[in-house]
A and B are shown apart, each in its own frame.
Chain A
C-alpha cells in the first residue's frame, strides 16, 4: 500500500502543508518589504531604512527604471508576493494531483517574480552602482522561493503527462477533472 499523497516514484509529497506554510510566510515577508518600499516610493514615508549603503536605497528607488511604470515597481512586487502567498496557501495536501492548474500558476508566478528580481538586482548593481538593502532582501526571498516550489510543479506536470498517456486529454488533466472514461470507450 502506497500513500496516495506521494507522487509515483517520489520519496516525499511536494505539496505537503508543512513545507508550503514556510513558503507562504516567506512570501508574506516579501509582501511586507515590498509594501514598505512602495509606500516610500509613493512618498508616504520621507525616509527609507538603509543600514549599509548610505544613499544607495534612495538612488535605486528614485531611479528612472523603477519609476518607468505608472505605479512604483515595488507595488507590483507587493502584488506578486500577495498572489504567491494566496497560491501557496490554497488547496490541500494532494493539490499536485487534484489542482495541477493551481500549482502551475503558482510556479509561473514564482518564476516570473524571481526573474524580475534578478534583472532589477543586475540593474542596480551594474548600471546604478548603488545598492538598496531591502531591495536585495526582497530579491533574495523571491529567488529562494524558486527551488522549493518547483518540486510541486514537476509533480503536477508528471501527473498531467501520466493522465494524458492513459487517454485523458491534457486540458482535463490540467484542470484536475476526473478522467473522461465514457469518451475513451
Chain B
C-alpha cells in the first residue's frame, strides 16, 4: 500500500508543481498530463486485483526521466521531472503485498487449463 500512497502523492505533486514552482510551457503541460495519469494508475493499482497497473506508472516515470531532454526543459523543471521520475519508478517497481488469491489471476484467462477447475486434482 505504501508505494501506491507515495505514488499518489508524487502524482498530485506533479499536478501542483507548475503553480508552486512557477513554471509554464512544455514542462507544465507535460506534468499536468503525467500527474493525473500517475494518480489514476496509483489508485487502481492500490487494489490487489489490478496491481499490474503499477507497470503503467513505470512507463510514466521513464517518460519523466527523458522528457526534459526531448522537450527542452530548463533549470528547476529538469530537476523536478528527474527527481519525481526516479521516485515514481521506484514505487512502480515494488509489487507490494498481495494477501488474496484469485484463481490464477488474469493470466489464467489466456493460459491453457484453469487452476482449481477441478477439485482434488493430483
Q: Which residues of A contact B (CB under 8 A)?
A: 2, 7-12, 114, 118, 121-122, 125-126, 129, 140, 143-144, 146-148, 150-151, 154-155, 157-158, 161-162, 165
Contacts and interface: CB of A to CB of B under 8 A. Distances in A.
A150 B47 contact: yes
Given A9-B102, A150-B50, A158-B103, A143 B114 contact: no
B27 to A, nearest CB: 11
Given A10-B103, A11-B100, 4 more contacts: A9-B116, A11-B101, A161-B108, A162-B117
Contact of B33 (A11, A114, A125, A162): A125
B36 A121 contact: yes
Contact of B103 (A8, A122, A125, A140): A8
Interface size range of chain B in the complex? 20 to 34
B15 interface: yes
Contacts of B109: 154, 157-158, 161
Contact of A9 (B15, B28, B104): B104
B61 interface: no
Contacts, number: 92
B47 A148 contact: yes
B100 A12 contact: yes
A165 B36 contact: no
B90 interface: no
Interface in B70-122: 99-106, 108-109, 113-117, 119
Nearest to A12: B100
B44 interface: yes
A111 B44 CA distance: 11
A126 B40 contact: no
A148 B37 CA distance: 19
A143 B103 contact: no
Contacts of A161: 108-109, 114
Contacts of A126: 28-29, 32-33
A74 to B, nearest CB: 18
Contact of A7 (B15, B28, B103): B103
A161 B115 CA distance: 11
Contacts of B44: 114, 143, 146-147
B66 interface: no
B33 A151 contact: no
A10 B40 CA distance: 27
Given A147-B50, A162-B114, A10 B37 contact: no
Nearest to B106: A154
A151 B40 contact: no
A125 B104 contact: no
Contacts of A2: 119
Interface in B40-60: 40, 43-47, 49-50
B32 A151 contact: no
A125 B32 contact: yes
